[in-house]
């Protein structure tokens, strides 16, 4: 049994579990063909992570994360996963990488987004969503430049997944700054904890 752990958490929604598991089987078999003892299955819970007595430490011995056994077992803390000493392979966002994760892990691959609207190779376009108001949707730009209808979002209540998310927060912040604007154009800002939670907040009228 492998002592390493792996996860594909970025799109591992309940209705996608079968597809995510199939993706891991392909990756697992490719690892094993190269002589790497990849785990049979991916982890989906803090409780699936091996304990690290004394906490997770960096190469200099500094404590950078608590022992996973101290976390809620049925949740999955992405940062503890990414920093776990037994980590073989996982997905992350460029936001955490820019904010310090890159000191502890290395990039080995990036997905292609060619099959998706706004995607060009490893580059993608984030979508800003709001309740339908009768106005037409804005198509994704063809050249990767920001295409943000400022008049439609000004004064709205903005919710986002997390402060370290490139797709949900950092990218929009930079695009607005490139347009001479800032997040101050919104009436309010709130952190939802996840992209899906942001959509729920809009549907429930807690955000625009």
Q: Which residue has the higher pLDDT, 141 or 119?
A: 119
* Per-residue pLDDT tens digits for 22-74: 999 999 999 999 999 999 999 999 999 999 999 999 999 999 999 999 999 99
Q: Give, in words, the CATH class of 126-208.
A: alpha beta
Structure-token pair, residue 20 = 């995510």
How far is residue 39 CA from its own chain's centroid? 22
Percent of the chain with pLDDT over 90: 86
Angle at 32 between CA 28 and CA 36, to 5 degrees: 105
Going from N- to C-terminal start, the domains of the chain cover 5-103, 126-208
Please, what's the largest Cα pairwise distance for the chain?
57
Q: Are 40 and 48 in contact (CB under 8 A)?
A: no
Reported pTM: 0.88
């Amino acid at each position: 049994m492998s002592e390493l752990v792996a996860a594909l958490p970025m799109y591992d929604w309940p209705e996608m579990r079968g597809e995510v598991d199939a993706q891991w089987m392909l990756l697992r078999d490719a690892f094993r063909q190269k002589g790497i003892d990849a785990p049979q299955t991916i982890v989906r819970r803090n409780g699936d992570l091996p304990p690290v007595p004394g906490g997770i430490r960096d190469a200099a011995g500094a404590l950078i994360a608590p022992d996973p056994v101290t976390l809620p077992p049925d949740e999955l803390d992405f940062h503890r996963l990414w920093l776990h000493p037994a980590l073989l392979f996982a997905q992350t966002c460029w936001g955490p990488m820019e904010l310090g994760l890159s000191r502890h892990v290395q990039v080995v691959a990036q997905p292609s987004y060619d099959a998706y609207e706004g995607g060009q190779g490893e580059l993608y376009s984030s979508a800003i969503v709001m309740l339908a108001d009768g106005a037409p949707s804005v198509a994704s730009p063809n050249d990767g430049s920001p295409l943000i209808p400022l008049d439609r979002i000004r004064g709205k209540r903005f919710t986002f997944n997390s402060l370290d998310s490139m797709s949900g927060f950092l990218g929009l912040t930079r695009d607005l700054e490139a347009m001479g604007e800032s997040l101050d154009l919104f009436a309010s800002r709130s952190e939802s904890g996840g992209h899906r939670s942001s959509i729920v907040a809009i549907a429930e009228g807690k955000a625009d």
